[in-house]
């Protein structure tokens, strides 16, 4: 399978034959993922390359995220090292909107989705800058900086704040979880 995109309907029809790789943070993954998906956060993709190569040699890979942006980036990075994969058009958001089944680990406390974490952090920083600006006018530059970052994020389809938030403990994979996923893909 070349670096292509599958619609949720196409992926659903082929789910039994695909190895699904979810590149969202562990918290996002725990909030609901495609059946039998393996969680390898985008930030840890390089560590899993040998296992992903092995899995791709056995069958087709489908890479998913929330909207399709991170999975498309993962597919590009995989293609650079000779691993072919497809991305899920519209990500898990489109998958669930169409009523397809998602799995949630039982008893898992799920953090907010990354997009919601970004909105909270950005909004809090803008509000802090505006309120502090009443006492110290220079503090308004904090709000201006966040606004500029949001514009840059939209223009480049990247998000520096999400990258920073992904480093928080609740968004990072536990080492043994990532190791177990890599082992499962290698076997």
Tell me the per-residue pLDDT of 119-177, one tens digit each, with 9 for 90 and over: 999 999 999 999 999 999 999 999 999 999 999 988 888 888 988 888 887 776 666 68
Tokens standing for 138?
A: 């220079």
Task: Check whether residue 95 and residue 132 sit in a common domain.
Answer: no
CA distance 4 to 18: 14
CB contact at 8 A, 166 and 172: yes
| Per-residue DSSP letter, 17 | G
Task: Check whether residue 103 and residue 152 sit in a common domain.
Answer: no
pLDDT digits (tens, 9 = 90+) for 13-48: 999 999 999 999 888 888 889 999 999 999 899 999
Domain of 62, in residue numbers: 4-111+173-186
- The total number of residues written for the chain in this structure: 187
Task: Check whether residue 122 and residue 41 sit in a common domain.
Answer: no
Q: Is 49 helix (H, G, I), strand (E, B) or coil?
A: helix
Which residues, other chains included, contact 164 with Cβ-Cβ below 8 Å and sequence gap of 6+?
none
Task: Check whether residue 103 and residue 21 sit in a common domain.
Answer: yes
pTM of the model: 0.71
pLDDT digits (tens, 9 = 90+) for 71-123: 999 999 999 999 999 999 999 999 999 999 898 876 666 677 788 889 999 99
Amino acid 64: pLDDT: 97
Strand pairing of 4-6 and 19-22?
unpaired
Look at residue 1 and tell me whether its pLDDT is greater than 50.
no
Number of domains in the chain: 2
CA distance 110 to 100: 20
CA distance 66 to 32: 10
Question: At 80, which CATH number?
Answer: 3.40.250.10
Task: Check whether residue 38 and residue 121 sit in a common domain.
Answer: no
Sheet holding 19-22, edge to edge: 4-6, 86-88, 61-64, 19-22, 38-39
Looking up tokens 């998958």 gives 95
């Amino acid at each position: 399978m070349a670096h292509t995109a599958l619609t949720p309907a196409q992926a659903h029809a082929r789910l039994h034959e695909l190895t699904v790789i979810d590149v969202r943070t562990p918290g996002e993954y725990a909030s609901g993922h495609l059946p039998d998906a393996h969680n390898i956060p985008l930030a840890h993709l390089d560590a899993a390359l040998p296992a992903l190569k092995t899995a791709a040699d056995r069958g087709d890979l489908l890479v998913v995220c929330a909207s399709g942006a991170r999975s498309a980036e993962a597919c590009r990075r995989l293609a650079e090292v000779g691993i072919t994969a497809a991305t899920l058009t519209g990500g898990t958001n489109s998958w669930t909107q169409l009523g397809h089944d998602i799995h949630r680990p039982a008893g898992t406390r799920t953090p907010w989705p990354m997009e919601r974490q970004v909105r909270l952090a950005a909004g809090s920083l803008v509000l802090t800058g505006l309120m502090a600006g009443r006492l110290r006018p220079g503090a308004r530059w904090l709000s201006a900086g966040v606004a500029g970052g949001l514009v840059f994020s939209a223009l480049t389809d990247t998000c520096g704040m999400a990258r920073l938030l992904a480093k928080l403990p609740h968004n990072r994979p536990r080492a043994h979880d990532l190791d177990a996923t890599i082992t499962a893909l290698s076997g």
